[in-house]
């Protein structure tokens, strides 16, 4: 499996203003470099009080700039040269004072001067606030943040939680991995901007008694990857998840369910308000016809208990039968053990949907990689082996192209 790093070829200028959250900028630099980015660090004098330029240079593998009069730059215009080379400028942490500088157009240090001098039409500015909860809630800060957004900056966070001062509330800088993922998402093409996407993921659990049930080996990773990719593409995403232990993708609305009936009850009302429905979940075909209120115990006679099964509702087919005016563009999944294309094509016809995505379930359950085949009325398209997130982004692109083609 070989997939290019998510930020391969991107040159990021990472600006640090003064604040204890500078310690997170060290890990953020590592995460951006691991994701393939070239990172150029620029620090204010206050930032140098919290973390040293030596540390940031070691992590970024580039000299750190702190002074607008730095004579290492041939023309002595670091604020011009640094901003022209950037694909994006990320300020993390951004203190209350530095946000005020950005809004007021003040430029009394290299970092603020560089932000003011950047060509705004092609070098985006992303800002990750970090400050005490009272400072964040202050009307002046809220006015400044609103103006910063109006001026075109993307404000990332802040988070809520414990703060260095001992207080708890809004104002924490987002964690390094979250900021990395926000930056990755920022650069993804917005192929589904304005679309509402509904996705199911994971297995269902059909209870036999309070402690036992029927389920399957689906990890939910492919569905969660598709939810992330759809959100990165600009969609408003709702994810209906069976019992899995996975973090919710950024900015995705998540609804947790257990059984197929619960999943159906969650999907059907939402489907009519969605533009796209991706049925990734491995929904159990059957459930016990009756539920035992108490755990089924061994009786000492070595008798094996038996129970009757009844069929679960076909969620994908039910959505595909909605009236045309309220029917989303439907994508089904076929996790098979053999004869993948044949079974996927039979499912395409049986469900009455425009696209089925097939994969060999036993080869991918629980893994972070996969290989897919897209089956539609025109034929089959292979998506070769790769990470599930890279495949999810390819699938999102295929869905967008098919919808645009009518």
CB contact at 8 A, 144 and 97: no
- Among the listed residues 22, 48, 115, 165, the single catalytic one is 165
- Alpha-carbon span 310 to 161, nearest angstrom: 47
Using CA atoms, how far apart are residues 205 and 225, in angstroms rounded to an integer? 21
Q: Active-site residue 165, yes or no?
A: yes
* Residues taking part in catalysis: 165
């Amino acid at each position: 499996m070989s997939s290019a790093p998510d930020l391969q070829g991107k040159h990021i200028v990472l600006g640090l203003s003064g604040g204890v959250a500078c310690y997170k900028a060290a890990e953020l630099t590592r995460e951006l470099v691991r994701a393939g980015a070239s990172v150029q660090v620029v620090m204010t004098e206050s930032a140098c009080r919290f973390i040293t330029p030596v540390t940031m240079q070691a992590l970024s593998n580039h000299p750190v700039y702190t002074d607008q009069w730095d004579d290492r730059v041939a023309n002595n215009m670091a604020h011009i040269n640094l901003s022209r080379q950037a694909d994006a400028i990320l300020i993390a942490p951004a203190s209350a004072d530095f946000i005020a500088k950005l809004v007021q157009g003040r430029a009394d240090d290299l970092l603020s001067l560089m932000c003011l001098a950047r060509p705004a039409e092609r070098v985006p500015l992303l800002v990750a606030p970090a400050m005490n909860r009272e400072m964040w809630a202050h009307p002046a800060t809220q006015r400044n943040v609103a103006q910063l957004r109006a001026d075109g900056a993307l404000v990332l966070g802040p988070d809520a939680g414990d703060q260095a001062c001992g207080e708890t509330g809004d104002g924490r800088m987002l964690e390094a991995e979250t900021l990395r993922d926000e930056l990755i998402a920022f650069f993804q093409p917005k192929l589904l901007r304005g679309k509402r996407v509904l996705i199911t993921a994971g297995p269902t659990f059909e209870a036999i008694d309070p402690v036992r049930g029927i389920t399957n080996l689906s990890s939910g990773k492919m569905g969660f990857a598709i939810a992330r990719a759809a959100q990165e593409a600009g969609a408003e995403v709702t994810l209906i998840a069976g019992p899995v232990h996975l973090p919710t993708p950024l900015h995705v609305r998540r609804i947790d369910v257990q059984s197929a009936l619960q999943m159906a009850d969650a999907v059907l009302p939402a489907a009519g308000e969605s533009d796209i429905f991706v049925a990734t979940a491995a929904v159990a075909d059957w459930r016990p016809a009756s539920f035992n209120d108490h755990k089924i115990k061994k009786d000492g006679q070595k008798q094996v208990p038996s129970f009757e099964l009844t069929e679960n509702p076909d969620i994908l087919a039910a959505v595909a039968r909605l009236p045309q005016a309220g029917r989303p563009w439907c994508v089904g999944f076929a996790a098979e053990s053999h004869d993948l294309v044949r079974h996927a094509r039979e499912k395409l016809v049986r469900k009455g949907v425009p696209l089925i995505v097939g994969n060999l379930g036993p080869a991918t359950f629980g893994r972070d990689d996969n290989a897919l085949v897209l089956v539609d009325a025109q034929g089959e398209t292979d998506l070769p082996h790769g990470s599930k997130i890279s495949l999810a982004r390819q699938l999102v692109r295929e869905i967008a192209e098919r919808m645009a083609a009518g």
